[in-house]
Structures are given as structure tokens and as C-alpha cells.
Amino acid sequence: MAIVVRELERRDAPVVARLRAALWPDAPADALAREVEDLLDGRPGSTLPCATLVAVDGDEVLGFAEVGLRSHADGCDPARPVGFLEGWFVRPEVRRQGVGRALVAAAEAWARAQGAREFASDTWADNEASIRAHLALGFEVVDRCVTFRKELGG
């Protein structure tokens, strides 16, 4: 496999939309696809810089990474913007072959080029596969948190 990581192109949109739906199954698939089109049309959902990277082998999309700058991230220097891995997905049949590593390396390089000195990410506390993948790529756990919500009647 010859993995190449590059920025998202219009021809990638249908596959990336399906991969995004696999990563975020609770989100409406049409909204996720519309976000890809918005990115391609120069209308990202963020006011800070962001990019969508795809890993390809020839014309075949193997996975994607969405990376952006954030004004802050838990465990990072609050005085500087931080690169943040917003989303990261590799097709199950090509996992553990360097695709995820290549995507994260490219996302880190993008963040470095934006002036970031730190790179952060998050995942659900019960997503053991994602936690292991992050740790294998040099991330360290800086916090564990349970988020609560309560309706206020009236």
C-alpha cells in the first residue's frame, strides 16, 4: 500500500461523508455530508483555521483527519492556540497498517505550520481502541471527565 496524505478534494466528498457518518453515527448523515461540501466551498464551521486531510492509496480514500486550531485545550498552555485533532477515522479493513499514523503526522505538521506548539485530541472514556491508538502515537492522558446536563423547567 502506498499511503499519500493530502487535503480534501471534491472527488473525495462522498467517501469522506460516509466515513464521517461511521465516526459520528449519532449525527444526521445529511448534515455531515453538507459540512464536507461547506468545507470544499470555503465555508468551514469554524472561525479559526481548519483542514480536512485524506489518506489515499491511488484513488482509494482510506481515512481522514479533521484538524483545527483551538484557542485552548485541556492540559495545554492556555496562552497559545493549540492544534486539535477534531476527527480521525480509518476504514476498519486498513487499520494497523500506518494509515492513522500518517494522518496524525500530517495533522501535526499542519498545526505546526499554523504556529501551534502543542497538539491535542479527545475521545469517549469508554472508547478503548481510540485511547490505545492515541497512546501509541505519543499522546498522553491529561484529564478524565464526566459531563452532566440537567433540564431546568419553566
Nearest 5°: CA angle at 119, between 114 and 121? Answer: 125
Given a cut of 90, is residue 149 above it in pLDDT? no
Given a cut of 90, is residue 1 above it in pLDDT? no
The residues spanned by each domain of the chain are: 4-136
Q: pLDDT-derived band of residue 49, with 50, 70 and 90 as boundaries?
A: confident
pLDDT tens figures, 55-83: 999 999 999 999 999 988 888 888 889 99
pLDDT at 96: 92
pLDDT tens figures, 28-44: 999 999 999 988 988 88
Pairwise CA distance, residues 82 & 6, whole Å: 21
pTM: 0.89
Q: Does domain 4-136 have CATH number 3.40.50.920?
A: no
Best-predicted range by mean pLDDT (42-51, 96-105, 123-132): 96-105
- Residues 125, 144 contacting (CB under 8 angstroms): yes
